[in-house]
Amino acid sequence: MATSPEAATIPPVEVVLGEVVANLSLIAHAYLHPTVDGAEVPPDLDNAEIAIDVAGKAFDRISSRLSSDERSSMARMLTELRMSYVKKRGL
């Protein structure tokens, strides 16, 4: 089966979703540690939870396709985010 020229330029889904996980993690961190004029303000826990949940689901879908180093780094990042969320939530 021949591959179309367009297909050769589309990155593998694990690359795309890896970037999604990283971006959602940064966004979740910003929701958990927001600042206004350099002062920390109350976190937006609802939006942080959504970002963390979606990042976790994306990671679950691609984790088997990642190298062990990539998998460990992403898992550690998500675990740290989840722990930060729990601390902010006061659970």
Q: Which helix (H) or strand (E) holds 63?
A: none
The reported pLDDT for the residue numbered 40 is 85
Query: How many folded domains does the chain comprise?
Result: 1
pTM of the model: 0.85
Residue 66: pLDDT above 80?
yes
Between strands 39-40 and 35-36, the pairing is antiparallel
| Angle in degrees, CA 30, 31, 36, rounded to 5 | 70
What DSSP assignment string belongs to 18-61? HHHHHHHHHHHHHHHS-EETTEE----HHHHHHHHHHHHHHHHH
Determine, yes or no, domain membership for 6.
no
Residue 7: pLDDT above 70?
no
Determine, yes or no, domain membership for 23.
yes
Determine, yes or no, domain membership for 7.
no
Determine, yes or no, domain membership for 3.
no
Determine, yes or no, domain membership for 1.
no
For residue 4, name the pLDDT band (cuts at 50, 70, 90): low
The reported pLDDT for the residue numbered 6 is 63
The reported pLDDT for the residue numbered 81 is 97
Determine, yes or no, domain membership for 2.
no
Residue 1: pLDDT above 90?
no
User: Are 20 and 55 within 8 A, CB to CB?
Assistant: yes
Determine, yes or no, domain membership for 75.
yes
Question: In which domain, by residue range, is 20 found?
Answer: 12-89
